[in-house]
Chain A
Amino acid sequence: MKSSYIPMTGEQQDAMLAAVGVNSVEELFSAIPEELRLKEDLDIPAPLSEYELKKHMMALSQQNFDSSWNLCFLGAGIYDHFIPSAVKHITSRQEFYTAYTPYQPEISQGVLQSIFEYQTMISELSGMDAANASLYDGATALYEAVLLAVRHTDRKEVLIARSVNPEYRKVLYSGLKYSGIIIKEIEFYTSTVEDKKSGTLDFDRLQSEINENTAAVVIQSPNFFGIIEDIKSASQKAREAGALMIAVCDPISLGVLESPGALGADIAVGEAQPLGNPMNFGGPLLGYFAVKSPYIRRMPGRIAGQTTDSEGRRGFVLTLQAREQHIRREKATSNICTNQALCALTATVYLSLMGRKGLKEVARQCIDKSYYTYRALLESGQADKVFNAPFFREFVVKPKTDPELLNDVLLAEGIIGGYDLSKEYPELEGCWLVAVTEKRTKDEIDMFVRKVSSICQGGLQK
């Protein structure tokens, strides 16, 4: 056995084979039909030493343009926020990251209490009564929320704003393809640029589509364009029709924006990556899921609850497990087993460090810095206004140069530019979604605006 991760020596192997009562290692596999047993080695690379591996991986990483040496103005659902060092120090503790799911509560109080704290923080941010222990990402959290609404209302139609993240809508369409659930998309206002509602949900369309078959109304706020939606009015419409209101909300924005719970939403879901988790090329992410009390027993996935031990002391366990696959099999509320526990711990430690003030300050800086960038781009005369509604951290402009070309030139200058909206929204041809987090300084933003405007003035065309 030749691996530093396999302690058994040759001598020990012989002794163990004898103890088992077989003559060779091969004999242990005699239940596998002869014709199935591989005769040759797997065709994968020969092993590297740890040092060689490190060198190899460093070389691969150097082919990437990452945000440690490039300025990131890209968002569209994943954000480049500051992460305090202390976060990683906690999540790198082996007792957390090498542990299994806390099915043995007596030796899992660490992770169980941290989940309980996470559930509390998510409930607080979203203004909900309870949250689960995490789901894979915002997109699958939305999928689970829609399933909950369909089961609860026993209705088959879901109305979703077209301004919900396209990745989320794609996951929803794939997952529901053969479910019999009908998804209808509601457009956003594009009336006139000066209209304060442009870029927000078209309530006239919502009004005409909502009826007694509607299981849920789904909106995102800030929506994919960064624009803040009117969750309160949408919730009212949903309630009148007997449908559930599902709000997709960014957790950082909830440091300053009113919570979806307070605005009448029944379910809040979203992507909690911005809470201390690195972008990691899109995974792992952190789907949060929070509900008002009537829906607690319909939640998917694991939930931690408080109880007492045999000596009356406070302790925590995984609870309401009769919803889950390992108990209910085909009747479970969801098939999820493994979730994103360590990412949830990351978010909990991040929020503890930032505190109420820090979270507000991050949100505040996102607003100030994104508005500063937005105004500077418009003032440069090289980018046009597209919408006119208030936004958070992210905004849409139409630069004089095609976004794809613009991004290519910016990349060569060490800047990761915004998101080209024409890919998902043909009607927004030439429109560019730019994100600005608290990490960007005034100097960096000024340089970004200068470069964008000089590229546009250069008249680069497709």
Chain B
Amino acid sequence: MIRDERLIFEKSVPGRIGFTLPANDVPEVDLTETFGEGVLRSSGPEIPEVSEVDVIRHYTNLSRRNYGVDSGFYPLGSCTMKYNPKINEDIASIDGFSQMHPLQNPMSAQGCLEIFYRMDKYLAEILGMERVTLQPAAGAQGEMTGLMIIKAYHMSRYDEKRVKIIVPDSSHGTNPASAALAGFEVVQIPSDEKGCVDMTALEEILDDTVAGLMLTNPNTLGLFEENILKISEMVHKCGGLLYYDGANMNAIMGIARPGDMGFDIAHVNLHKTFSTPHGGGGPGSGPIGVVKELVPFLPVPVIEKQDDYYVLDYDRPLSIGKVKSFYGNFSVVLKAFSYIMMMGPQGLKSASQAAVLNANYIRKKLEDLYDIPYNRICMHEFVLSADRQAQKGVTALDIAKNLLDEGYHPPTVYFPLIVHETMMIEPTETESPETLDAFVETMRRIAQLAETDPEGLKHAPKNTYVTRLDEVKAARNPVLRWRP
């Protein structure tokens, strides 16, 4: 590969173009006369002047410095990096979907609305909920929407003293961040020695100031909260609501449902569980389902079927309003819809079963060489600790960087925060046993090297486009844009 570190701006040649446009076949407006003084741009913008070939080569070369699910194994815990079926991308590109304007007359958008309506039904069934809104653009926005609904529910009952949201210490960072943003006080509870919610601590916190509890189940250690029915009973008894963080829903599709566990609100990440691509960080989609009592609070519009037609229902006085413009990330919903249609009930269940079996298989194959703090049958992911290796000077980060050299995307490191030198491994169901075996072999080799040649593991990665980057320098002296 030819090494070319230049930015697109540094390839700009004055006068070069990379576009064609329709002829401007109408009379020209005199800009200065029409707009007057000070309205027109006095300089720039410094957008590069490059040809189409320049652009294609530049970004093709950039893409080669990136690693996708199609490049190889991506056992990134809590992120469910499963394969993204190609047909879904083709469907999302159909003009009849991609070239639709959101404010068109609903009668001219019946295909889009039918997809929203049916997706609401399918996800409600999968989650065990009454209705689903597809408006949230991502998991964190789903959380925010759910918390706004919790607030609105309590306020509708004039129960204004409920200011606390409980989150476990193993929760995703978005949980406390969303709760704080929604105006709640965040109370963290510890995990017990089995990695689940500490029931005594929970008992102590629960009172009439609790608005709700946010829980991931299976939790971020990959363990199912065995006391979930007891937990939901306790929270409901004190008048609080239960929010399900669906980041780990890939473990239980068709096997168990948040609604049956007693959750009142549940989000799913279509970009995790339902195979839509992560796009290098987004776009995602974070629909939330709610129980019957909370349906009136859902964001507007709700898509309803009246006679034979789909309509947008804005007339919902108790609704929390809008969390995002229009109806959600439609094209992401479309891909997840296609996935569900191709998997069917058996396929979804098989996916969860295989995901769980794969995780347990890796756990079992590594348990002698790595510490596994909560070593029992796990769900779709598990957490190991590189504590033993760290004592030899090889940290979880070092192991991750060595995996880069071996052609893998490493597991999630240093999360959840309650385990030292954490590596969180989630293989997903789309990986073959051969892939798992090869990964296990690499992890075992690294563990052995940590014993025999720890120093040799300290300098990875060596085979990547860049070596370890100076993050301290980046934060201390931020360079966030190119300057001409």
B295 to chain A, nearest CB (A): 17
* B141 smallest CB distance to A (angstroms): 7
Chain A stretch 336-364: residues in CB contact (< 8 A) with chain B: 336-343, 345, 348-349, 351-359, 361-362, 364
Assess whether B315 is interfacial by the CB under 8 Å rule.
no
Size of the B side of the interface (Cβ < 8 Å), in residues, is: 200
**Would you give the 0/1 interface string for B89-103, flagging 1 where the beta carbon is closer than 8 Å to chain A?**
111011111111111
What are 27 A-B contacts with C-beta separation under 8 Å? A2-B346, A20-B361, A47-B342, A47-B343, A58-B94, A66-B97, A97-B277, A121-B47, A124-B44, A131-B480, A139-B322, A140-B141, A140-B324, A259-B41, A284-B332, A305-B474, A306-B474, A330-B186, A335-B180, A338-B271, A341-B281, A355-B16, A355-B18, A355-B50, A357-B49, A365-B21, A438-B24
Mask of A273-288 contacts with B, CB within 8 angstroms, 1/0: 0000011111111000
Indicate if the CB atoms of A61 and B97 lie closer than 8 Å.
yes
Q: Are B177 and A332 within 8 A (Cβ)?
A: yes
Closest 10 pairs between A and B when the two form their complex, measured CB to CB: A61-B96, A282-B102, A282-B326, A47-B344, A174-B321, A342-B279, A110-B66, A341-B281, A98-B68, A284-B283
B206 interfacial contact with A, CB 8 Å: no
For B79, list chain A residues within 8 Å (CB): 100
**Is A254 part of the binding interface, using a Cβ–Cβ cutoff of 8 Å?**
yes
Number of inter-chain CB pairs below 8 Å: 699
B331→A284 contact, CB < 8 A: yes
The 8 A CB mask of B1-40 against A (1 = contact, 0 = none) is 0000101110000001111011111111101001110111
Kindly state the separation between the CA atoms of A30 and B351 in the bound complex, as whole angstroms.
Answer: 17
Inter-chain CA distance A296–B474, complex, in Å, is 14
Query: Which residues of chain B come closer than 8 Å to A328, judged between CB atoms?
Result: 173, 177
Which residue from chain A places its CB closest to the CB of B141 in the assembled complex?
A136
Contact A441 B125 (CB under 8 A): no
A109-B257 in contact (CB<8A): no
Among B57-65, B197-205, B383-391, B441-449, the stretch in contact with A:
B57-65
Establish whether residues B474 and A167, one from each chain, have CB atoms under 8 Å apart when the complex forms. no
Question: Closest CB of chain A to B470's CB: distance in Å?
Answer: 5
Complex CA distance for A244 and B350, rounded to whole angstroms: 54
User: Which of A100, A167, A278 meets B74, CB within 8 Å?
Assistant: A100
Which listed residue, A47, A322, A338, A419, touches B140 by the CB 8 Å rule? A338
A383 interface hit (Cβ, 8 Å): no
Contact partners of B280 in chain A: CB under 8 A: 96-97, 99-102, 108, 111, 341-342, 345
> Could you tell me if B65 and A5 are in contact, using CB atoms closer than 8 angstroms?
no
Task: Report A-chain residues with C-beta under 8 Å of the C-beta of B83.
Answer: 5
Contact B41 A93 (CB under 8 A): no
Q: Which residue of B lies closest to A125 (CB)?
A: B45
Alpha-carbon distance between A58 and B96 when the two chains are bound, in angstroms: 8
B48 sits at the interface (CB 8 A): yes
| Contact partner, B350, options A6, A27, A168, Cβ 8 Å | A6
Interface residues of B in 347-395 (CB under 8 A from A): 347-351, 353-354, 356-358, 360-361, 364-365, 376-377, 379
Q: A308 and B469: CB pair below 8 A?
A: yes
Which among B104, B148, B257 has the greatest number of chain A C-beta atoms within 10 A? B104
Q: Is B156 an interface residue (CB 8 A)?
A: no
Pair B47/A174 contact, Cβ less than 8 Å = no
Q: A3-B347, A8-B354 are in contact. List 19 more A-B contacts (CB 8 A).
A: A19-B361, A19-B364, A68-B96, A98-B277, A99-B69, A120-B482, A171-B322, A173-B321, A255-B41, A281-B331, A282-B325, A296-B478, A307-B469, A330-B179, A336-B138, A340-B279, A355-B16, A359-B47, A364-B28
* B window 454-484: CB within 8 A of A: 461, 464-471, 473-475, 478-482
Shortest distance between the CB of B331 and any CB in chain A (Å): 5
**With A38-B254, A308-B470, A313-B5: A319-B475 Cβ-Cβ less than 8 Å:** yes
With both chains docked as a complex, state the minimum distance between the C-beta of A298 and any C-beta of chain B, in angstroms. 13
Instruction: Indicate the member of B55, B81, B155, B228 with the most A CB atoms within 10 Å.
Output: B55
Partner of A64, one of B111, B181, B468, B474: B111
Residues in B with CB closer than 8 Å to A104 are: 67, 400, 404, 409-410
Q: A44-B340, A124-B46, A258-B40 are in contact. Are A36 and B99 (CB under 8 A)?
A: no
A317-B471 in contact given A96-B279, A305-B478 (Cβ < 8 Å): yes
Say which residue of A16, A168, A303 sits within 8 Å of B480 (CB atoms).
A303
A33 at the interface (CB under 8 A from B): yes
**CB pair A305 B41 closer than 8 Å:** no
Residues of chain B lying within 8 A (CB to CB) of residue A20: 357, 360-361, 364, 377
Residues facing B in A78-130 (CB within 8 A) are 78, 80, 82, 84, 86, 88-90, 92-102, 104-111, 113-114, 116-117, 119-121, 123-125, 127, 129-130
Contact A232 B38 (CB under 8 A): yes
Q: Which segment, of A49-57, A184-192, A210-218, A453-461, faces chain B?
A: A49-57
Contacting residue for B70 out of A15, A98, A309, CB 8 A: A98
